Structure 1
Amino acid sequence: MVFNFRVYKKQSPNGKITMYLGKRDFVDHISGVEPIDGVVVLDEDYKDRKIFGQIICSFRYGREEDEVMGLNFQKDLFLASEQVYPPPDKGEATKLQERLMRKLGPNCFPFRFTLPPSAPASVTLQPGSDDEGQPCGVHYYVKLFIGENETDRTHKRSTVSMAIRKVQYAPSKQGRQPCTVVRKDFMMSPGELELEVTLDKQLYHHGEKIAVNICIRNNSNKVVKKLKAMVQQGVDVVLFQNGQYRTTVASIETQEGCPINPGSSLQKVIFLLPLLSSNKERRGIALDGQLKKLDTNLASTTLLATPDQRDAFGIIVSYAVKVKLYLGALGGELSAELPFVLMHPKPNGKGILAKADSEADVEMFRQDTVAEPEIEGEKCE
């Protein structure tokens, strides 16, 4: 049986260190995160040197162009750090590492890092059209460098780093069907207005339409003039006490079936489709972590094992459907809200692998019981 693999390669500017990763998306299973494993190939001149590896979580919470007079709106967290060469122990290598070591020769050495379960997910906040520099958000890097110890100052020519992502996939089971009923009574008039909102399910995949079932029962003497249904994305930048905000990413406003007069009712289904393509110009919308400037999508819902498992350097993303009834200037409004989960489904087979960027070469090789991997690549500038 033959399997196809995609290997990501990046080389230091001086060509002495080359890093290979089997993938760049690492899945957070809530209880733990997939280990980050790969291999490093050394030049003969570096066989007497020490090489250290680190996993860096870079959290940018302000615009780069606003950094003046020593201000810095970026925090770098070292989530894992250890010596890669000389190898500290002979740990068990993965099948991919074994094939690469057999193909790349005796100067190829495996490495493995483990992220803590509470590490924040990769999220990028969409910049404005006039913004420059690195966008705000949470980004991850694997970094290998030459040094005497883990805290040694790195030199650009003998350092190689590659961007990766920490991702979550949708659970395999649906949760409870979301449903809510809200009522409003009026001080100077009898009766009440009732709004019932139901979603067809709790978990949606990106690109899937959301069916919002709306039932309005008007037992008051007010008139419902129009209604509006919207999908709102909630962003919570945990570092700041007032770092919560909401953005509408899909909405429909309609007067169909209106006005709803006293004593009458209305039942209808509205379909909403939250897509990034409809929100390209909205600054501050949360997107799934990006590798360079590749296309992405709206950020997935952040799943937490417990509500208090909120890393201070993370960005929590949530979604909700909100329905509003407009009763005119004197009647006011009535609104109902239902949270739901928006995520990617779990990939089949070997998983969805990220595309390469301009700095990383992609090699395809065949892996079976006979064939060895064929790797070709160019040195990065």
Structure 2
Amino acid sequence: MVVNFKVFKKCSPNGKLTLYLGKRDFVDHITGTEPIDGVILLDQDYIDQRKIFGQVICSFRYGREEDEVMGLNFQKDLYLASEQLYPPPEKSEHGLTKLQERLLKKLGPNAFPFTFTLPPNSPASVTLQPGREDEGEPCGVKYFVKVFSGDSETDRTHRRSTVALGIRKVQYAPSKQGRQPCTVVRKDFMLSPGELELEVTLDKQVYHHGEKIGINICIRNNSNKVVKKIKAMVQQGVDVVLFQNGQYRSAVASVESQEGCPVNPGSSLQKVIYLIPTLESNRGRRGVAMDGTLKHEDVTLASTTLLASPDHRDAFGIVVSYSVKVKLYLGALGGELVAELPLVLMHPKPEKMKAVHADSQADVETFRQETFDGDMTNAAKC
């Protein structure tokens, strides 16, 4: 049996350090995040009397780069994991993964494994879309695995002897649907009998990116007002936790409809409106949250941030949420009636994750060298 898998490789500018990772997306299961496992390969002439350190860095940019003047800096680098990789520690707390075993066998004695564990509640990878005229690095949360040569973990790194590869901390949609979202709102009017009732129901609670969201609307007009227009939208909520007033909303999909209107007194209306929130329809809009970005990869709108508890929010994170909002327009004197429902918008869990360790019984001897020659040399750079 022949097992092929992709391996990402990046070298330092001097060619003495090489970093290998089996993947760049690491899944947050809410209770914990997958360990970051990989291998470093050192040049034989370079390792004498040198120390090699590895770190996982969370870079949080909360302001535009072009606004950094007079010493201001709108970026924080958080060192979430750090340890010495060479000379290797005598006893390792982590066992070798299948990937590490195969890489060590193929790369030889100058290859050394490493495993980093992210702390609980570390923020998810999110990028805030810059405006069309903005320059510099976009705001958001990014992760890097960094390997460098130095005298200590806090030593100033030199570009020629440093290699950094971008990774992402991601979450996938839960496999089970929650309770079907439904809400009923009513409005009465001064000096007018009766009330206006709006019922909004969604098909389900969890949607995948690119999936059509069906919004079921039922209007019962027992008042003497007239419903002239209906507007439905999907709103993205962004909470930059660092700032007390860092919450804002953007409509990432919307439609106005007069079909079935006006809804006159004593009548009712039932209809379904479909919306598909996509990043393509929001290109160039400053502040719209996207998934963490890697070069040469397509991105979508940011996924909903799932938290074990509302209090478990990292101060340097960005929390993303979604909701459906339906608004009835009653004219200048009647005002509006609004109903809102939360939903979850995420990527489905990949099929390869559903078959956990499906290749764990594969024969190591059949791992082909051409897999290295193809995928490794074409690995994406940060």
Tell me if both proteins adopt one fold, taking TM over 0.5 as the criterion.
Answer: yes
The answer to whether the 8 A contact 1:4-1:367 is kept is no
1:160 matched residue in structure 2: 163
Q: Which residue is equivalent to 1:72?
A: 73
Rounded to whole Å, the distance in 2 between the matches of 1:179 and 1:69 is 52
Matched, 1:27 2:30: no
What is residue 270 of structure 1 aligned with on the other side? 273
Structure 1 residue 367 displacement after superposition: 7.3
Aligned residue in 2 for 1:212: 215
Deviations 1:37-72 (A, max 9, x none): 100000112222110100000000011111111000
Give the C-alpha shift of residue 130 in structure 1. 0.8
Distance of 1:132 and 1:213 partners within structure 2:
42
TM-score by length of 1: 0.94
Is there any run of 5+ residues in structure 2 with no aligned partner, and where? Answer: 355-361
List aligned pairs for 1:200-279, cutoff 5 A: 200-279=203-282
Shift of 1:368: 5.1
Match of 2:44 in 1: 44
State the match for 1:60 in structure 2. 61
The one of 356, 364, 371 equivalent to 2:367 is 371
Look up the SS of the partner of 1:53 in the other structure. Answer: strand
Deviations 1:182-208 (A, max 9, x none): 000001211100000000100000010
Please say if residues 200 and 217 of structure 2, whose CA atoms lie closer than 8 Å, have aligned partners that are also in contact. yes
Structure 1 residues 200 and 378: alpha-carbon distance in aligned structure 2, compared to 1, 3 A threshold: closer
Gaps (5+ residues) in structure 1?
352-365
- Counterpart CA distance in 2 for 1:293 and 1:243 is 30
Match of 2:357 in 1: none
Secondary structure of the residue aligned to 2:45 is: helix
What is the distance in 1 between the residues matched to 2:329 and 2:130? Answer: 33
Q: How many residues were matched structurally? A: 368
Identity %: 76
Q: One-letter code of the match for 1:129?
A: R
**What is the alpha-carbon distance in structure 1 between the residues aligned to residue 251 and residue 297 of structure 2?**
24
CA distance in 2, matches of 1:45, 1:161: 22
Map 1:66-215; keep pairs closer than 5 Å: 66-88=67-89, 89-90=91-92, 91-215=94-218
Q: How far apart are 1:294 and its partner, in Å?
A: 3.1
Secondary structure class of the residue paired with 1:166: strand
Question: 1:293 offset after TM fit, Å?
Answer: 5.7
TM-score normalised by the chain length of structure 2: 0.93
In structure 1, what residue type is equivalent to 2:218? C
Specify the code of the residue in structure 2 equivalent to 1:21.
L
Structure 2 equivalent of residue 312 of structure 1 = 315
Partner SS for 1:103 = helix
Which digits, 9 at most, give the CA deviation of each residue in 1:293-317, with x for residues without a partner? 6320000000000110000000000
Q: Is the 8 A contact 1:145 1:158 kept in 2?
A: yes
Report deviation, 1:133: 1.0
- Shift, 1:281, TM fit: 2.1
Instruction: Provide, for residues 211-230 of structure 1, a one-character-per-residue CA deviation record: whole Å limited to 9, x for no partner.
Output: 00000000000000000000
- Deviation for aligned residue 1:349: 1.6
SS in 2 for 1:304: coil
2:363 and 2:74 map into 1 onto residues whose CA distance is: 45
CA distance in 2, matches of 1:55, 1:87: 17
Q: CA deviation at 1:378?
A: 8.0
The question of whether the paired residues in 2 share the 8 Å contact of 1:99 and 1:372 is answered with: no
Letter in 2 for 1:29: H
What whole-Å deviation, never above 9, does each CA across 1:90-121 have from its counterpart, x for those lacking one?
44211111111111111010001000121000
Give the aligned CA root-mean-square deviation in angstroms: 1.7
Cα contact 2:178–2:206 (8 A) shared by 1: yes
- SS of residue matched to 2:104: helix
User: CA–CA distance in 1 between the matches of 2:34 and 2:378?
Assistant: 28
Work out whether residues 100 and 373 of structure 1, in 8 Å CA contact, stay in contact via their aligned partners in 2. no
Contact in 2 for aligned 1:118/1:311 (Cα 8 Å): yes
Q: Is the 8 A contact 2:2 2:368 kept in 1?
A: no
Tell me the residue number matched to 1:359.
Answer: none
* 1:328 to 2:324 alignment: no
**Contact kept in structure 2, 1:239 and 1:312, CA below 8 Å:** yes
Cα pair 1:229 1:252 within 8 Å, conserved:
yes
The structure-2 alpha-carbon separation of the partners of 1:337 and 1:127, relative to structure 1 and needing over 3 Å to count, comes to same
Structure 1 residues 135, 367: closer, same or farther in 2, change over 3 A?
farther
Q: 1:316 to 1:378 in 2, by over 3 A?
A: closer
Q: How far apart, CA to CA, are the structure 1 residues paired with 2:223 and 2:262?
A: 13
Kept in 1: contact 2:61–2:75 (CA 8 A): yes
Shift of 1:318: 0.2
The answer (yes or no) to whether the contact 1:63–1:73 under 8 Å persists in 2 is yes
Measure the CA separation in 1 of the matches of 2:138 and 2:101.
37
CA contact (8 A) 2:31 2:308 kept: yes
Q: Distance in 2 between matches of 1:317 and 1:178?
A: 19
Q: What is the rounded CA distance, in whole Å, between the counterparts of 1:288 and 1:304 in structure 2? A: 17
